[in-house]
Structure 1
Amino acid sequence: MWNLSAPWWEFVLRGLIVYGSVLALLRMSGKRQIGQLTPFDLVLLLVLSNAVQNAMNAGDNSVSAGLILAVTLVGANAGLAYLTWRSRRLEILVEGRPQFLIHDGKLLQDVMRNQRVSMEDLHKVLRHAGSSSMADVHFAILETDGTVSVKLRQQPADAAPPRPAASVWSEVGKDDVL
């Protein structure tokens, strides 16, 4: 139950290798996949965790190996969070940059295509923000966590009554300041 089949440092090394590899794979899958977890994405994560389990534990099912791997993965995650907090360059490398989807009412189709955001998904976000048309949108930004921030254009004072403040912003991200 407690006896390890390999040295403890091998479990740490295996855990770090798998953590880095899975992080890179998820980063390559795009922001939208991370921010919008569909049933297919949930199944992928469950199957992925099962697929990499043996690569981490080398077939060792002892409690000690499981605890070493758990501490390694939590420590790697905490360490990466700290490093990305301290270094903007590393944060951009790991998390990417926010991307404009709409700017001044104009749809940026190349960004939509590159980030794999469908028109249906964008229209849904715009409806939640209280927009009936892309022309109403000052900007829509795909944030690094996969959410979309929307800021509507300001209406002239003599136009229709303003929308409630809650509908002006949708899914406010950490980097709202432009």
Structure 2
Amino acid sequence: MLNPYLDIIFRSLAVYFFMTIALRIFGKKELSQLNTADIILILLISNSVQNAMVGPDTSLWGGLVAALALFVINFIIKKLTHKYKLVNDLLLDKPEILIHNGTLDFNALSKLDISHEELKEAAREHGLEHLTDIKLCTLEIDGTISIISKDKTNLKETHYKRKHNHKNFRK
């Protein structure tokens, strides 16, 4: 049997990688705007994996060792994603182009479940009346919709955060 603290570190790393892979598979485009169900899910997941990380050791030291292991692996992963493109590509999403030169990318919009109304709302929040006034519209990795106007003088400095997932986009 391993040293109890090495066991906690191993368990914590296993849970960290499991959660990273699960978020990558199930998507994280909604993480920037958590709704009640998302918060409940996060709380339940954290509670369900806590025992998997510390096992029978529910002491203060066991919890601190688990937390330290998570901070260290998170630090290492961040350094690796900055240094190695392959690690970055595996772990992080890419921005998605939604509109280019006034033309909507219906495949991307459908895949991301972004509705026409949601796009129009984002355009209005950026001070634009029509979607055709948009040079470039992108869903960023943090869940915001960034817009670059064809007319640079008409653009308001705002970021549109997705409030919920609409599935009523019409082509």
Relative to the length of structure 1, the TM-score reads 0.80
Number of residue-to-residue matches in the alignment: 159
> How many Å apart are 1:82 and its aligned residue?
0.8
1:66 and 2:50 matched: no
Find out whether 1:32 has 2:19 as its counterpart: no
1: CA distance, partners of 2:71 / 2:112:
29
Q: Which runs of 5+ in 1 are unaligned?
A: 156-161, 173-178
Partner residue in 2 for 1:146: 143
Q: What is the rounded CA distance, in whole Å, between the counterparts of 1:102 and 1:122 in structure 2?
A: 9
Q: CA deviation at 1:51?
A: 1.4
Return the match for 2:95 from 98, 123, 127: 98
User: How far 1:122 moved relative to its partner?
Assistant: 2.6
Rounded to whole Å, the distance in 1 between the matches of 2:101 and 2:38 is 32
Q: CA deviation at 1:6?
A: 6.2
Q: Distance in 1 between matches of 2:120 and 2:46?
A: 33
The residue aligned with 2:164 is none
Query: Residues 29 and 128 from structure 1, CA distance in 2 versus in 1: closer, same or farther, beyond 3 angstroms?
Result: farther
- Aligned match for 2:107, one of 105, 110, 119: 110
Matched residue SS, 1:102:
strand
Counterpart pick for 1:131 among 121, 128, 136: 128
Which residue of 2 is the match for residue 14 of structure 1? 11
Residues 1:143 and 1:112: Cα distance change in structure 2 (over 3 Å) = same
> Structure 2 counterpart of 1:79, which letter?
I
8 Å contact kept, 1:30–1:115: no
Percent identity of equivalent pairs = 31
The 8 Å contact of residues 99 and 142 in structure 1, kept in 2 or not, is answered as yes
Question: What's the counterpart of residue 175 of structure 1?
Answer: none
Q: What is the identity, as a one-letter code, of the residue corresponding to 1:100? A: I
- Give the AA of the match of 2:43: L
- Among 53, 58, 69, which residue is 1:56 paired with? 53
For residues 76-87 of structure 1, what are the structure 2 equivalents within 5 Å?
A: 76-87=73-84
